[in-house]
Structure 1
Protein backbone atom coordinates (compact mmCIF):
# COMPACT_ATOMS: atom_id res chain seq x y z
CA UNK A 1 0.00 0.00 0.00
CA UNK A 2 1.20 3.48 -0.85
CA UNK A 3 0.90 6.71 1.06
CA UNK A 4 -0.40 9.81 -0.66
CA UNK A 5 -0.79 13.54 -0.31
CA UNK A 6 -4.01 14.63 -2.01
CA UNK A 7 -3.81 18.31 -2.92
CA UNK A 8 -6.45 20.84 -3.81
CA UNK A 9 -5.22 23.07 -6.62
CA UNK A 10 -6.53 26.63 -6.28
CA UNK A 11 -5.43 28.10 -2.96
CA UNK A 12 -2.90 25.33 -2.29
CA UNK A 13 -0.71 24.77 -5.38
CA UNK A 14 -1.46 28.17 -6.84
CA UNK A 15 -2.71 31.44 -5.46
CA UNK A 16 -6.50 31.54 -5.73
CA UNK A 17 -8.38 34.40 -7.35
CA UNK A 18 -11.86 35.80 -6.92
CA UNK A 19 -12.66 34.52 -10.41
CA UNK A 20 -11.03 31.48 -12.04
CA UNK A 21 -7.44 30.40 -12.66
CA UNK A 22 -7.39 29.03 -16.20
CA UNK A 23 -4.83 31.18 -18.01
CA UNK A 24 -1.13 30.60 -17.51
CA UNK A 25 -0.56 34.25 -16.65
CA UNK A 26 -2.96 33.85 -13.71
CA UNK A 27 -1.29 30.72 -12.34
CA UNK A 28 0.99 31.98 -9.59
CA UNK A 29 2.77 29.38 -7.47
CA UNK A 30 3.05 30.39 -3.80
CA UNK A 31 6.45 30.62 -2.13
CA UNK A 32 7.48 27.28 -0.69
CA UNK A 33 4.95 25.16 -2.59
CA UNK A 34 7.45 23.41 -4.84
CA UNK A 35 9.82 22.84 -1.91
CA UNK A 36 6.94 21.22 -0.01
CA UNK A 37 6.21 18.89 -2.94
CA UNK A 38 9.89 17.91 -3.11
CA UNK A 39 9.87 17.09 0.61
CA UNK A 40 6.75 14.95 0.28
CA UNK A 41 8.27 13.08 -2.69
CA UNK A 42 11.53 12.48 -0.84
CA UNK A 43 9.49 10.98 2.00
CA UNK A 44 7.86 8.53 -0.42
CA UNK A 45 4.42 10.09 -0.90
CA UNK A 46 2.41 10.00 -4.10
CA UNK A 47 1.19 13.50 -4.99
CA UNK A 48 -2.29 13.66 -6.51
CA UNK A 49 -4.27 16.80 -7.31
CA UNK A 50 -8.00 16.72 -6.50
CA UNK A 51 -9.74 19.83 -7.85
CA UNK A 52 -13.18 21.15 -8.71
CA UNK A 53 -13.15 23.02 -12.01
CA UNK A 54 -16.73 24.28 -12.29
CA UNK A 55 -15.70 26.98 -14.77
CA UNK A 56 -15.91 24.23 -17.41
CA UNK A 57 -19.59 23.60 -16.64
CA UNK A 58 -20.21 27.34 -16.65
CA UNK A 59 -18.60 27.71 -20.10
CA UNK A 60 -15.87 30.04 -18.82
CA UNK A 61 -13.00 27.78 -19.85
CA UNK A 62 -12.33 24.30 -21.24
CA UNK A 63 -10.78 21.02 -20.15
CA UNK A 64 -7.85 21.94 -22.38
CA UNK A 65 -7.30 25.07 -20.29
CA UNK A 66 -7.15 22.92 -17.14
CA UNK A 67 -4.59 20.63 -18.79
CA UNK A 68 -2.50 23.61 -19.95
CA UNK A 69 -2.33 24.90 -16.38
CA UNK A 70 -1.56 21.43 -15.03
CA UNK A 71 1.19 20.83 -17.59
CA UNK A 72 2.69 24.26 -16.86
CA UNK A 73 2.69 23.50 -13.13
CA UNK A 74 4.35 20.13 -13.84
CA UNK A 75 7.08 21.90 -15.83
CA UNK A 76 7.66 24.35 -12.97
CA UNK A 77 7.88 21.65 -10.29
CA UNK A 78 9.87 19.08 -12.25
CA UNK A 79 6.97 16.66 -12.83
CA UNK A 80 6.52 15.89 -9.15
CA UNK A 81 2.77 15.36 -9.40
CA UNK A 82 1.68 11.77 -10.01
CA UNK A 83 -1.84 12.49 -11.23
CA UNK A 84 -4.66 15.00 -11.39
CA UNK A 85 -8.36 14.39 -10.96
CA UNK A 86 -10.72 17.23 -11.73
CA UNK A 87 -14.47 17.59 -11.66
CA UNK A 88 -15.85 19.73 -14.49
CA UNK A 89 -19.35 19.65 -13.00
CA UNK A 90 -21.53 22.14 -11.18
CA UNK A 91 -25.01 21.24 -10.00
CA UNK A 92 -26.45 24.61 -11.06
CA UNK A 93 -25.07 24.45 -14.60
CA UNK A 94 -25.10 20.94 -16.01
CA UNK A 95 -25.36 18.17 -13.47
CA UNK A 96 -24.66 17.14 -9.95
CA UNK A 97 -21.76 14.74 -9.61
CA UNK A 98 -20.22 12.69 -6.84
CA UNK A 99 -16.83 13.66 -8.24
CA UNK A 100 -17.36 17.24 -7.12
CA UNK A 101 -15.99 18.02 -3.67
CA UNK A 102 -17.25 17.85 -0.92
CA UNK A 103 -18.04 14.38 -2.24
CA UNK A 104 -15.10 12.03 -2.30
CA UNK A 105 -15.32 10.08 -5.57
CA UNK A 106 -12.15 11.62 -7.07
CA UNK A 107 -10.18 10.58 -3.99
CA UNK A 108 -11.82 7.14 -3.94
CA UNK A 109 -10.88 6.55 -7.59
CA UNK A 110 -7.25 7.47 -6.88
CA UNK A 111 -7.17 5.22 -3.81
CA UNK A 112 -8.36 2.29 -5.91
CA UNK A 113 -6.09 3.01 -8.89
CA UNK A 114 -2.89 3.48 -6.88
CA UNK A 115 -3.64 1.11 -3.97
CA UNK A 116 -3.33 3.91 -1.43
CA UNK A 117 -3.32 3.35 2.32
CA UNK A 118 -5.91 5.71 3.78
CA UNK A 119 -4.36 5.69 7.26
CA UNK A 120 -1.05 7.11 6.04
CA UNK A 121 -2.51 9.61 3.57
CA UNK A 122 -3.61 13.24 3.77
CA UNK A 123 -5.90 15.67 1.96
CA UNK A 124 -4.59 19.24 2.02
CA UNK A 125 -7.01 21.98 1.06
CA UNK A 126 -7.99 25.56 1.71
CA UNK A 127 -11.79 25.13 1.74
CA UNK A 128 -14.23 23.23 3.93
CA UNK A 129 -15.28 21.17 0.88
CA UNK A 130 -11.69 19.85 0.60
CA UNK A 131 -11.68 18.79 4.24
CA UNK A 132 -15.13 17.18 3.94
CA UNK A 133 -14.01 15.19 0.89
CA UNK A 134 -10.89 13.98 2.68
CA UNK A 135 -12.85 12.93 5.74
CA UNK A 136 -15.46 11.11 3.60
CA UNK A 137 -12.62 9.22 1.93
CA UNK A 138 -11.11 8.28 5.29
CA UNK A 139 -7.82 10.17 5.02
CA UNK A 140 -6.37 12.70 7.45
CA UNK A 141 -6.82 16.36 6.62
CA UNK A 142 -4.93 19.64 6.81
CA UNK A 143 -6.79 22.89 6.30
CA UNK A 144 -4.75 25.81 4.98
CA UNK A 145 -6.54 28.68 6.66
CA UNK A 146 -6.00 31.90 8.52
CA UNK A 147 -8.98 31.00 10.76
CA UNK A 148 -8.07 27.70 12.46
CA UNK A 149 -10.87 28.13 14.99
CA UNK A 150 -13.38 27.59 12.14
CA UNK A 151 -11.79 24.36 10.90
CA UNK A 152 -12.76 20.76 11.61
CA UNK A 153 -9.62 19.18 10.13
CA UNK A 154 -7.01 17.27 12.12
CA UNK A 155 -4.44 20.01 11.53
CA UNK A 156 -4.43 23.60 10.34
CA UNK A 157 -1.68 25.84 9.06
CA UNK A 158 -1.23 28.72 6.65
CA UNK A 159 0.59 27.26 3.64
CA UNK A 160 1.77 24.09 1.92
CA UNK A 161 5.36 24.32 3.15
CA UNK A 162 4.17 24.53 6.76
CA UNK A 163 1.82 21.60 6.06
CA UNK A 164 4.77 19.52 4.85
CA UNK A 165 6.58 20.23 8.11
CA UNK A 166 3.56 19.02 10.10
CA UNK A 167 3.18 15.81 8.09
CA UNK A 168 6.89 14.98 8.03
CA UNK A 169 7.80 15.80 11.64
Structure 2
Protein backbone atom coordinates (compact mmCIF):
# COMPACT_ATOMS: atom_id res chain seq x y z
CA UNK A 1 0.00 0.00 0.00
CA UNK A 2 1.37 3.40 -1.00
CA UNK A 3 1.02 5.72 2.00
CA UNK A 4 0.61 9.43 1.34
CA UNK A 5 1.88 12.53 3.10
CA UNK A 6 -0.73 15.02 4.25
CA UNK A 7 -0.93 18.45 5.79
CA UNK A 8 -3.98 18.73 8.00
CA UNK A 9 -5.17 22.30 8.35
CA UNK A 10 -7.29 23.89 11.02
CA UNK A 11 -9.61 26.45 9.48
CA UNK A 12 -10.20 29.56 11.62
CA UNK A 13 -6.89 31.23 12.44
CA UNK A 14 -4.91 29.19 9.90
CA UNK A 15 -6.77 29.53 6.59
CA UNK A 16 -9.08 32.42 7.39
CA UNK A 17 -8.80 35.25 9.88
CA UNK A 18 -9.79 34.40 13.45
CA UNK A 19 -12.42 37.01 14.32
CA UNK A 20 -12.96 36.11 17.97
CA UNK A 21 -16.46 34.95 17.08
CA UNK A 22 -17.92 32.29 14.82
CA UNK A 23 -17.25 32.73 11.11
CA UNK A 24 -20.15 31.29 9.14
CA UNK A 25 -20.99 33.93 6.53
CA UNK A 26 -18.97 34.16 3.32
CA UNK A 27 -18.80 37.95 3.66
CA UNK A 28 -16.95 37.49 6.99
CA UNK A 29 -14.63 34.78 5.65
CA UNK A 30 -11.29 36.54 5.05
CA UNK A 31 -8.56 34.24 3.75
CA UNK A 32 -5.18 34.96 5.32
CA UNK A 33 -2.44 36.33 3.03
CA UNK A 34 -0.15 33.59 1.74
CA UNK A 35 -2.60 30.72 2.20
CA UNK A 36 -3.02 30.00 -1.51
CA UNK A 37 0.75 30.17 -2.10
CA UNK A 38 1.37 27.82 0.85
CA UNK A 39 -1.14 25.34 -0.55
CA UNK A 40 0.43 25.54 -4.02
CA UNK A 41 3.89 24.82 -2.56
CA UNK A 42 2.52 21.79 -0.70
CA UNK A 43 0.69 20.47 -3.76
CA UNK A 44 3.92 20.73 -5.78
CA UNK A 45 5.38 18.25 -3.26
CA UNK A 46 2.33 15.95 -3.59
CA UNK A 47 0.90 16.58 -0.12
CA UNK A 48 -2.76 15.93 0.46
CA UNK A 49 -4.45 18.96 2.01
CA UNK A 50 -7.25 18.18 4.44
CA UNK A 51 -9.08 20.71 6.59
CA UNK A 52 -9.96 19.55 10.12
CA UNK A 53 -12.24 22.03 11.92
CA UNK A 54 -14.55 22.21 14.92
CA UNK A 55 -17.80 24.00 14.06
CA UNK A 56 -19.56 24.12 17.42
CA UNK A 57 -21.86 26.94 16.32
CA UNK A 58 -23.99 24.30 14.58
CA UNK A 59 -24.68 22.48 17.85
CA UNK A 60 -25.37 25.82 19.53
CA UNK A 61 -27.94 26.69 16.85
CA UNK A 62 -26.02 29.76 15.67
CA UNK A 63 -25.64 28.57 12.08
CA UNK A 64 -26.28 25.54 9.89
CA UNK A 65 -24.31 22.88 8.03
CA UNK A 66 -25.25 24.74 4.85
CA UNK A 67 -23.58 27.93 6.16
CA UNK A 68 -20.38 25.95 6.79
CA UNK A 69 -20.54 24.36 3.34
CA UNK A 70 -20.93 27.77 1.68
CA UNK A 71 -17.79 29.02 3.47
CA UNK A 72 -15.90 25.89 2.44
CA UNK A 73 -17.02 26.24 -1.17
CA UNK A 74 -15.81 29.86 -1.12
CA UNK A 75 -12.47 28.76 0.39
CA UNK A 76 -12.04 26.12 -2.33
CA UNK A 77 -12.87 28.59 -5.10
CA UNK A 78 -10.50 31.25 -3.75
CA UNK A 79 -7.58 28.82 -3.34
CA UNK A 80 -7.80 27.05 -6.70
CA UNK A 81 -9.64 23.96 -5.40
CA UNK A 82 -6.41 22.63 -3.87
CA UNK A 83 -8.04 21.17 -0.74
CA UNK A 84 -8.56 17.42 -1.04
CA UNK A 85 -11.20 17.13 1.67
CA UNK A 86 -12.79 18.98 4.56
CA UNK A 87 -13.82 17.34 7.82
CA UNK A 88 -15.81 19.32 10.34
CA UNK A 89 -17.32 18.51 13.70
CA UNK A 90 -20.75 20.07 14.26
CA UNK A 91 -20.87 18.99 17.92
CA UNK A 92 -20.25 20.79 21.20
CA UNK A 93 -20.39 19.46 24.77
CA UNK A 94 -23.36 21.76 25.52
CA UNK A 95 -25.50 19.39 23.43
CA UNK A 96 -23.50 16.38 22.24
CA UNK A 97 -20.20 14.82 23.24
CA UNK A 98 -18.19 13.65 20.25
CA UNK A 99 -14.83 12.03 19.58
CA UNK A 100 -14.76 14.03 16.34
CA UNK A 101 -14.26 17.27 18.27
CA UNK A 102 -10.64 18.33 18.70
CA UNK A 103 -8.69 17.73 20.94
CA UNK A 104 -10.03 14.24 20.18
CA UNK A 105 -8.72 12.76 16.98
CA UNK A 106 -11.54 10.95 15.18
CA UNK A 107 -11.64 13.39 12.22
CA UNK A 108 -7.91 12.80 11.70
CA UNK A 109 -8.31 9.03 12.12
CA UNK A 110 -11.06 8.92 9.50
CA UNK A 111 -8.97 10.90 7.01
CA UNK A 112 -5.89 8.76 7.65
CA UNK A 113 -7.87 5.58 6.97
CA UNK A 114 -9.73 6.91 3.94
CA UNK A 115 -6.70 8.38 2.17
CA UNK A 116 -3.97 5.91 3.28
CA UNK A 117 -2.04 8.68 5.02
CA UNK A 118 1.35 8.08 6.61
CA UNK A 119 1.29 9.93 9.96
CA UNK A 120 5.12 9.95 10.08
CA UNK A 121 5.24 12.08 6.90
CA UNK A 122 2.30 14.28 7.85
CA UNK A 123 1.67 17.53 9.69
CA UNK A 124 -1.14 19.38 11.44
CA UNK A 125 -1.11 23.18 11.32
CA UNK A 126 -3.39 24.71 13.92
CA UNK A 127 -3.85 27.82 15.98
CA UNK A 128 -4.52 26.19 19.35
CA UNK A 129 -3.05 23.46 21.53
CA UNK A 130 -6.19 21.35 20.97
CA UNK A 131 -5.19 21.04 17.29
CA UNK A 132 -1.74 19.79 18.28
CA UNK A 133 -3.14 17.42 20.91
CA UNK A 134 -5.38 15.79 18.27
CA UNK A 135 -2.40 15.49 15.92
CA UNK A 136 -0.22 13.97 18.61
CA UNK A 137 -2.85 11.30 19.34
CA UNK A 138 -2.42 9.94 15.79
CA UNK A 139 1.34 10.46 15.49
CA UNK A 140 1.22 13.54 13.26
CA UNK A 141 3.68 16.40 13.85
CA UNK A 142 2.08 19.70 14.83
CA UNK A 143 2.85 23.34 14.15
CA UNK A 144 1.16 26.17 16.01
CA UNK A 145 0.48 29.37 14.09
CA UNK A 146 -0.30 32.67 15.74
CA UNK A 147 0.60 36.32 15.35
CA UNK A 148 2.28 36.58 18.73
CA UNK A 149 4.63 33.58 18.36
CA UNK A 150 3.36 32.16 21.64
CA UNK A 151 5.12 29.00 22.69
CA UNK A 152 3.83 25.52 22.06
CA UNK A 153 4.42 22.23 23.83
CA UNK A 154 6.40 20.95 20.84
CA UNK A 155 8.21 24.22 20.12
CA UNK A 156 7.17 24.55 16.47
CA UNK A 157 5.55 27.97 16.17
CA UNK A 158 5.08 30.27 13.17
CA UNK A 159 3.24 33.47 12.33
CA UNK A 160 1.15 31.92 9.56
CA UNK A 161 0.67 28.93 7.27
CA UNK A 162 3.12 30.11 4.62
CA UNK A 163 5.90 30.44 7.20
CA UNK A 164 5.05 26.99 8.61
CA UNK A 165 5.30 25.48 5.14
CA UNK A 166 8.60 27.18 4.28
CA UNK A 167 10.27 26.93 7.70
CA UNK A 168 9.31 23.41 8.74
CA UNK A 169 7.27 21.24 6.36
CA UNK A 170 9.23 21.62 3.12
CA UNK A 171 12.57 21.42 4.96
CA UNK A 172 11.59 18.19 6.74
CA UNK A 173 10.31 16.46 3.61
CA UNK A 174 12.09 18.13 0.66
TM more than 0.5: yes
Shift of 1:105: 0.3
CA RMSD of aligned residues (A): 0.9
- Which runs of structure 1 show a deviation greater than 4 angstroms over 4 or more consecutive aligned residues? none
Q: Deviations over 1:8-55 (max 9, x none)?
A: 000000001111100001000111011001001111100000000000
The residue aligned with 1:125 is 126
The residue aligned with 1:63 is 65
Shift of 1:148: 3.4
SS of structure 1 residue aligned to 2:30? coil
In structure 2, list runs of 5 or more residues that go unmatched: none
The residue aligned with 2:107 is 106
Q: Distance in 2 between matches of 1:65 and 1:143?
A: 27
Given that 2:149 and 2:158 are in contact with CA atoms closer than 8 Å, whether structure 1 keeps it comes out as: no
Q: Distance in 2 between matches of 1:86 and 1:140?
A: 20
Note if 1:9 corresponds to 2:11.
yes
Q: Distance in 1 between matches of 2:149 and 2:93?
A: 28
Q: Distance in 1 between matches of 2:58 and 2:35?
A: 26
Q: How does 1:129-144 map to 2 (within 5 A)?
A: 129-144=130-145
Shift of 1:154: 4.9
The residue aligned with 1:156 is 157
Q: Deviations over 1:86-123 (max 9, x none)?
A: 0000011x111000000000000000000000000000
Return the TM-score normalized by structure 1: 0.96
Q: Distance in 1 between matches of 2:160 and 2:81?
A: 21
The residue aligned with 2:33 is 31
Query: Aligned residue pairs: how many?
Result: 167
